[in-house]
Amino acid sequence: MIFYKYVTAERVDILRNQLIRFTQPDALNDPFEAKPHFHAFATKEGFANAFADMIRRAPTVVWEDFRRVTQTNLNQQAFADKLEGNPDYADRLYKSVGLPDLLLKEQKRVERWFRIVGTLSLSETPDNLLMWAHYAEEHTGFVFMFDGSHKFFEGNELFPGFAKPEPVQYKSERPSTTIEEVTVSEIFLTKGSDWVVFTLCKLLTF
């Protein structure tokens, strides 16, 4: 398969320097792209399981502090079992005892991750007039052609940290999910449906 990259005329430096930019997510031009809405840390069931696992692994000194706060008479294992079997109880407890906001914490972790991820947007066609207008400075730029059969695009051990090019998914609504359930495609491979005419795919590096 052949991939194409539309650029402005000034980007001839890509040829001169043999370098091409992988763009960080916060510099992308679509509000859907790399900006999913996280409405919760996890489903109630997923959170209850994670909460229970955290209790089981907590050091004794941490568990004793937690037991004083919650005023439970259960031992550590029994309390974890209760959480795991009762998602509604786990959710109420989490909100009532003022534990750290896991959703906010995880969102910040995702944002830090975004700063080390790069994306390269490519097209499957070299003759899209809208692409020429939008990305090639009103038809005055040019297009790079990449041989998709090159090992660079295979995501193998020769180029660690690179994923294979994947087609972009076009959606009319911004992705809304949980931290637990979010996928790479929802984060990096989703654009608003208005962009569907561009037939893009993306190559990621981590």
* Domain ranges, ordered by start, for the chain: 2-40+109-205, 44-101
Q: Could you count the other beta carbons within 10 Å of the beta carbon of residue 129? A: 9
Distance CA 201, CA 193 (A): 14
Distance CA 142, CA 128 (A): 12
Q: What does 6-50 look like in DSSP terms, one character per residue?
A: EE-GGGGHHHHHT--PPBPGGG-S-TTTT--EEEESS-HHHHHHH
Distance CA 4, CA 148 (A): 10
**Residue 98 confidence (pLDDT):** 53
Distance CA 3, CA 122 (A): 6
**Residue 5 confidence (pLDDT):** 94
Distance CA 74, CA 205 (A): 47
Which residue is it, tokens 């510099």? 27
**Residue 47 confidence (pLDDT):** 72
| CA gyration radius, the chain | 23
Start-to-end Cα distance in the chain: 23
Q: Each residue's pLDDT tens digit in the chain (206 positions)? A: 899 999 999 999 999 999 988 888 777 777 667 666 666 666 677 777 777 887 888 888 778 887 887 888 889 889 888 888 788 887 777 766 555 565 566 667 766 776 778 888 899 899 999 899 988 999 999 999 999 888 888 765 555 556 678 888 888 887 776 666 666 666 777 887 877 766 677 766 65
- Nearest CA to 203 out of 177, 184, 179 is that of 184
DSSP designation for 19: -
